[in-house]
Amino acid sequence: MALKKSVLKMIPLVDISGFRSGSEAEKAHVAGTVRDACETVGFFYLAGHGIGGEIIRAMRDILVEFFARPECEKLCVAITPDLYRGYIPIAAFSANDGTVKQPDLYEGYKLHAERSGGTGDGGVVPANVCPEKPADFRDTVLTYWREMDRVSDQLLRIFALTLGQCECSLVDCFKSPMTNMTLLHYPSMKRGLDGFGIHPHKDSDAFTILYPDPVGGLEVRPVCGRDWIRADCPPGAFVVNIGDMMELWSGGRFRSTPHKVVNCTGAERYSFPYFAIPNENTEIEPMVRPVEGFSRTSLDVGAFMSEVYRTNRIDQKPKDDTLDLGTLSD
């Protein structure tokens, strides 16, 4: 498909500062703007989030430093089939449906919210694995994570209002969440190479908050067209996109939109998406009357995420079609 430059009318810029400190009218205005974005493109740029630039820079710097470490050091904290936390080597993950020939060209580091109890990711929830170097790795990540939790809480309240629900109705589903982050490094690819930084996919979570590296490389395919567009986020803003869980909660009103990463910039790309996922025991079903043509069974978050984690590996195949919640036909 052709690649077109993103314009704000396709991926809108939403300033949530009015929601954070405003009147009920200002909250309604923000919720309406978010609702419009979720019903059309499924992505929006987030401004007014209140996160200082120094926190973002510290996160990017820690990624650059860690991924530059010798491979032998990184492999000492690598993920295993029994522990979905730690370093992800290049080409370890990819699509398993036969649509992508080459493994994804990125290396990463997986971290999860440290919940009390739960079994959804393969057993009693353990603590995150952190490398010895950089020494400030854990503190830097947790500082950023706390800021993401705060923004996530605001977005949950906004999403609830967009669905005509009580402002706190979704917050209660995230008291002990399965939320996780992946720290990512994409080496630059040669243009025309048969492969992706990350293959075209939809997120399986409720929503994702992404710091968009100015290097670029993120591309989106809105449901309103078949062309891929660049997600050229304004400076200081974040990218937010809807995942399959929020699409299900909305009865198909909100769009879980395909996206991919192709880094042919000649520079190294670093990003650190925050995946908002509810409590393990949450059963997701439409909170509003589904739109015509949208028919999906309810979703058990713990069981679903366990299957997602298992099938991320290139040698594991899905047991059934539960990983494709789907969306309306074009």
| DSSP letters for 197-229 | SEEEE---SSEEEE---TT--EEE--TT-SSEE
Alpha-carbon gap, residue 102 to 193, rounded angstroms: 10
Asked whether the beta carbons of 227 and 265 are under 8 A apart, the reply is no
Alpha-carbon gap, residue 238 to 142, rounded angstroms: 18
State the average pLDDT over residues 233-262.
Answer: 93
Q: Is the pLDDT of residue 317 over 70?
A: no
State the average pLDDT over residues 24-49.
Answer: 93
Q: What does the pLDDT look like over 222-238, one tens digit per residue? A: 876 678 888 888 989 99
Q: Tell me the pLDDT of the chain averaged across its residues.
A: 85
The whole-number pLDDT of residue 321 equals: 55
Q: Is the pLDDT of residue 315 over 90?
A: no
The whole-number pLDDT of residue 278 equals: 96
State the average pLDDT over residues 31-57.
Answer: 93
The whole-number pLDDT of residue 61 equals: 97
Q: Where are the alpha helices (DSSP H) in 86-228?
A: 137-162
Task: For the chain, give the percent of residues with pLDDT over 90.
Answer: 56
**Could you tell me where the beta strands, DSSP code E, fall in the chain?**
3-4, 13-15, 43-47, 86-88, 107-112, 180-186, 198-201, 207-210, 218-220, 228-230, 238-242, 259-261, 269-271, 274-276, 283-284, 299-300
For 4, list phi and psi in degrees, rounded to 5.
Answer: -115, 150
Asked whether the beta carbons of 254 and 164 are under 8 A apart, the reply is no
Q: Is the pLDDT of residue 322 over 70?
A: no
Task: Report the Cα–Cα distance between both ends of the chain, in Å, rounded.
Answer: 15
Alpha-carbon gap, residue 318 to 96, rounded angstroms: 8
Domains, the chain, ordered by start: 3-311 (2.60.120.330)
Indicate the pairing of strand 269-271 with strand 107-112. unpaired
Asked whether the beta carbons of 262 and 189 are under 8 A apart, the reply is yes
Instruction: Tally the residues of the chain.
Output: 330
The whole-number pLDDT of residue 216 equals: 87
Question: In this structure, is the dihedral angle defined by the CA atoms of residues 294, 298, 301 and 304, taken in order, positive or negative?
Answer: negative
Q: What does the pLDDT look like over 139-149, one tens digit per residue? A: 999 999 999 99
Alpha-carbon gap, residue 300 to 183, rounded angstroms: 26
The whole-number pLDDT of residue 122 equals: 45
Position 115, amino acid: R
Q: What does the pLDDT look like over 151-167, one tens digit per residue? A: 999 999 999 999 999 99
Q: What does the pLDDT look like over 86-131, one tens digit per residue? A: 999 988 776 655 565 677 889 999 999 976 554 444 444 568 889 9
Q: Is the pLDDT of residue 170 over 90?
A: yes
Q: What does the pLDDT look like over 263-304, one tens digit per residue? A: 888 889 999 999 999 999 999 999 999 999 888 889 999 988
Indicate the pairing of strand 299-300 with strand 283-284. antiparallel
Q: Is the pLDDT of residue 150 over 70?
A: yes
Alpha-carbon gap, residue 209 to 205, rounded angstroms: 11
Indicate the pairing of strand 207-210 with strand 198-201. unpaired
CB atoms within 10 A of CB 146: 10
